[in-house]
Amino acid sequence: MSVTETDYRDAISRFLSGVTVITTRHGSEIQGITATAVTSVTLQPPTLLVCLNRQSATCRTLIESGQFAVNVLGANQQDLAQRFATKQPDKFAGVPTTAGVTGAPLITGALAHLECRVSAQNDVGTHRIFFGEVLSVAVAEGRPLGYFRGKFSALPP
Ligand SMILES: Cc1cc2nc3c(=O)[nH]c(=O)nc-3n(C[C@H](O)[C@H](O)[C@H](O)COP(=O)(O)O)c2cc1C
């Protein structure tokens, strides 16, 4: 019995997720991508994983830099989620950021920033899984942005 792409998408879209923008810097190049494929892996050492399509410009830059930041978006940042889900070249224009310890842009107003160094990586199908050892974190209060069945929604705090 085989599962079609449509069947799989229909089922997995019922898994409620938070929304992040993964950012990275390599030299003068900065990139960012909206991503829900983000999971905590282990506390010792603090490690998370992100899965990026290898066709993504951010994925290619992340492979070069070996470092990235996870920006956990708040409910009032849906516009950023939509912007970073495009391939427009000026995604950071007008977006307030600061530079983190890895040099990756940290998006102002995000609920959390987790900066990581790539500790392992593996390709599966079209995607690359990056394991990131967390080097630095910062948190803020607020309502999170959620994603369920293809739609964004503000979640309770
Ligand atoms: C809600 C949402 C979640 C997404 N999650 C991921 C993800 O986890 N990994 C991924 O590779 N692309 C994901 N995407 C698609 C990318 O954001 C999109 O392909 C983007 O244009 C890639 O930009 P880039 O090529 O500049 O890196 C998601 C899109 C949306 C709207």
CATH number for position 108: 2.30.110.10
CB of 87 shorter than 6 A to ligand 1? yes
- Would you say residue 154 lies in a domain? no
Domain interval for residue 112: 17-145
**pLDDT tens-digit profile of 1-31?**
799 999 999 999 999 999 999 999 999 999 9
- Would you say residue 120 lies in a domain? yes
Compute the distance from residue 24 Cα to the ligand 1 centre, in Å: 14
- Would you say residue 51 lies in a domain? yes
- Number of compact structural domains in the chain: 1
**pLDDT tens-digit profile of 97-144?**
999 999 999 999 999 999 999 999 999 999 999 999 999 999 999 999
- Would you say residue 99 lies in a domain? yes
Mean pLDDT value of segment 59-64 = 98
CB of 86 shorter than 6 A to ligand 1? yes
The rounded mean pLDDT for the chain is 97
Whether residue 94 is predicted with pLDDT greater than 90 in this model: the reply is yes
52: Cβ–Cβ under 8 A, 6 or more apart, which residues?
Answer: 22, 33, 35, 37, 58, 59, 62, 127, 128, 130
- Would you say residue 131 lies in a domain? yes
- Would you say residue 6 lies in a domain? no
151: Cβ–Cβ under 8 A, 6 or more apart, which residues?
Answer: none
